Structure formats: C-alpha cells, structure tokens
C-alpha cells in the first residue's frame, strides 16, 4: 500500500486540540505490520503531536479516500452509475457550451 495514499487517508482525521484536518505533511509513518499502521502526527496549526495506531484494510482505504462529505456519499450510493448515454449527453452539452458558468448556475 502506498504511503502517499495512507497519508491522504489520515487527512480525514482532525486535530483533537484545534479541530483542523491534518495535512499529509503533518503525518509521519512510523511503520506497519500487515494492516496495523503506526503514525506520529504533528498538527501544523497548533503544533500538538500525537501517536496514532490504525488498522487499514485495502477495501476500507478504497472506500475512505475521497473528498465527499457523508451527505454526498449517501446521495451517490443510491445514484445510478455513469453510463454511455450520460457521456454522450455531456459531449453534446459541451459542444454548445460557451464557457459562461455564471449564466449556467444562475438561479
Ligand atoms: Zn491542532
């Protein structure tokens, strides 16, 4: 498992002291034994440091690494998959789109 991916997963955690999400540069991987990983995390905002032990499974990692909120995940979990018709519709839309996002999102 890539260390960069593991660090990205760790950014879903927040500092207990100041509440800010950790950044990948805040996380130092101390090592792992199979699914059990050991981290030293130093908050770049308030400088609080802590040790974290986490069990990281491949499937859990695939599920957890994204930038969706819990609300968005719930919404997308019941949505249909993107299919060929969706791609064709988007292609047709983009052919005629002039790039005016203000007009596109105007209420
Ligand atoms: Zn902090």
Residue 60 resides in a domain: yes
Q: Measured in angstroms, how far is the CA atom of residue 22 from the centroid of ligand 1?
A: 8
DSSP 66: S
- Token pair belonging to 78: 């019941």
Q: Measured in angstroms, how far is the CA atom of residue 44 from the centroid of ligand 1?
A: 7
b vs e for 58-77, b when ≥16 Cβ sit within 10 Å of the residue's Cβ? eeebeeeeeeeeeeeeeeee
Mean pLDDT of 96-107: 87
Residue 53 has pLDDT above 80, yes or no: yes
Residue 11 resides in a domain: yes
Q: Which residue has the higher pLDDT, 56 or 59?
A: 56
Residue 105 resides in a domain: no
Residue 38 resides in a domain: yes
Categorize the per-residue pLDDT at 39 as very low, low, confident or very high, splitting at 50, 70 and 90: very high
Burial (CB count within 10 angstroms: exposed 0-12, middle 13-18, buried 19+), residue 56 = middle
Task: Report the distance separating Cα 64 and Cα 98, nearest Å.
Answer: 36
Domains in the chain: how many in total? 1
Residue 6 has pLDDT above 70, yes or no: yes
Residue 11 has pLDDT above 70, yes or no: yes
Q: Say how far residue 67 (Cα) sits from the centre of its chain.
A: 4
- Token pair belonging to 98: 């002039």
Q: Measured in angstroms, how far is the CA atom of residue 99 from the centroid of ligand 1?
A: 40
Residue 35 resides in a domain: yes
Residue 61 has pLDDT above 60, yes or no: no
Q: Measured in angstroms, how far is the CA atom of residue 42 from the centroid of ligand 1?
A: 8
Q: What is the reported pTM?
A: 0.51
Task: Report the distance separating Cα 27 and Cα 7, nearest Å.
Answer: 6
Residue range of the domain that includes 36: 3-98
Q: Measured in angstroms, how far is the CA atom of residue 104 from the centroid of ligand 1?
A: 39
Q: Measured in angstroms, how far is the CA atom of residue 46 from the centroid of ligand 1?
A: 4
Categorize the per-residue pLDDT at 105 as very low, low, confident or very high, splitting at 50, 70 and 90: confident
């Amino acid at each position: 498992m890539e260390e960069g991916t593991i660090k990205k997963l760790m950014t879903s955690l927040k500092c207990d002291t100041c509440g800010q999400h950790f950044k990948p540069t805040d996380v130092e991987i101390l090592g792992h034994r199979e699914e059990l990983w050991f981290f030293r995390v130093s908050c770049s905002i308030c400088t609080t440091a802590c040790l974290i032990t986490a069990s990281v499974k491949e499937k859990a990692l695939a599920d957890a690494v994204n930038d969706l909120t819990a609300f968005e995940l719930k919404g997308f979990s019941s949505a249909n998959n993107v299919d060929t018709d969706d791609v064709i519709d988007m292609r047709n839309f983009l052919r005629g789109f002039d790039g005016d996002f203000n007009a596109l999102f105007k209420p």
